[in-house]
A and B are shown apart, each in its own frame.
Chain A
Amino acid sequence: MLKGFLLNGFLPSGFLPNGFSCAVRLAVFAHSDTTSLPNSMILITDQVLDAAAVQRQLGSVEAGASVVFTGTTRRLTDGRETVDLTYECYRELAEKALRELESKARTRWRLVECVLLHRIGLVPLGEASVVVGVSAAHRDEAFESARWLIDTLKEQVPIWKQEHWADGTRQWIHPGMSPPQAAPGVDRNAG
């Protein structure tokens, strides 16, 4: 069985709006023969997301199927090269929205476990910004709910991505809003 701990900490202030200090819960996963996690976990963190730990957490004798979706920072978007991404959130509302997503998913599908993790701050190429994990008795429920959860999360949860392009510019991504919001690049090595 898997054992989990939630630790309290504080985000570095660099990417947060002025005057904000967001409490962060860090998920620490370890194996244990005696303790199991609660059957849901919602977490917004500036720490690396561990999809393998999520996969282990989904395991249950009640579940015949589990799906883990991992969204990672991609190098190319329509031919433009990304150096890395920064995410920010409205933490209180984002956590509430994630809880509501889980609740809605559980009314539509009979889920055994549900895990929704989102990373904020800098997310380098190849690293995960989001992990959605579900387990259910059968694969249809697992596939459908995971797909709905990630699609709805992207659309509704107040979390925002800023592209750091290889040409030095930065751009907040706001689907449906034009023209794109571009800003001059900042020398990352400064300071």
Chain B
Amino acid sequence: MVIKVLFFAAAREISGTGSMELSLEDDATLGQLKQSLVEQFPGLMHVMGHSAISIDREYATDGRILYHGAEVAILPPSSGG
């Protein structure tokens, strides 16, 4: 299955892109996606440890099972205002 991944702020800077598509085994979890991203972008590990993650604009935890076409966003700590 193919997952769309969005990167913001420091996560975008480290990955060098705002979005990418990632192929994963069917029924992969969010935790497995995060592991795959860290393998591809080792610098993301630190940011990922502090980031919230959303799946299709709903916050999610590592155990969530992903599905084809899901939009996953890496959301470092907010600093609006």
Q: Which residues of A contact B (CB under 8 A)?
A: 16-20, 71, 87-90, 92-94, 96, 118, 129-130, 150, 153-162, 172-177, 181, 183
Tell me the complex Cα distance, A130–B50, Å: 24
Which of chain B's residues has its CB closest to A16's CB?
B18
Write the chain B residue with the least CB distance to A163.
B79
**Given A160-B8, A174-B47, 16 additional A-B pairs, CB 8 A:** A17-B19, A19-B19, A20-B18, A87-B80, A89-B80, A129-B80, A130-B81, A154-B78, A154-B81, A157-B80, A158-B80, A159-B80, A159-B81, A160-B76, A174-B76, A177-B77
Interface assignment of B73: CB less than 8 Å from any CB of chain A: yes
Distance, CA A110 to CA B44, complexed state (A): 43
User: Chain B contacts of A154 at CB under 8 A?
Assistant: 78-81
- Judge whether A17 and B77 touch: CB under 8 Å: no
**With a CB–CB cut-off of 8 A, which chain A residues contact B50?**
174, 176-177
The number of residues on chain B lying at the interface, defined by a beta carbon within 8 Å of a beta carbon of chain A, is: 25
* Nearest CB in chain B: distance from A42 CB, A: 13
Report B's interface with A, CB cutoff 8 A: 6-10, 12-14, 17-19, 46-47, 50, 52, 54, 57, 73, 75-81
Q: Which residue of B lies closest to A151 (CB)?
A: B81
> Is the CB–CB distance between B73 and A173 below 8 Å?
no
Contact B9 A172 (CB under 8 A): yes
Complex-state Cα separation, A118 to B78, whole angstroms: 13
List residues of chain B with CB within 8 A of the CB of A158: 8, 52, 73, 75, 78, 80
Whole-angstrom distance from the CB of B80 to the nearest CB of chain A? 3
CA distance A155 to B75 in the complex (A): 12
Query: In the assembled complex, how far is the CB of residue A122 from the closest CB belonging to chain B, in whole angstroms?
Result: 15
How far does the alpha carbon of A16 sit from the alpha carbon of B7 in the complex, in Å? 11
Q: Which residue of A lies closest to B19 (CB)?
A: A19
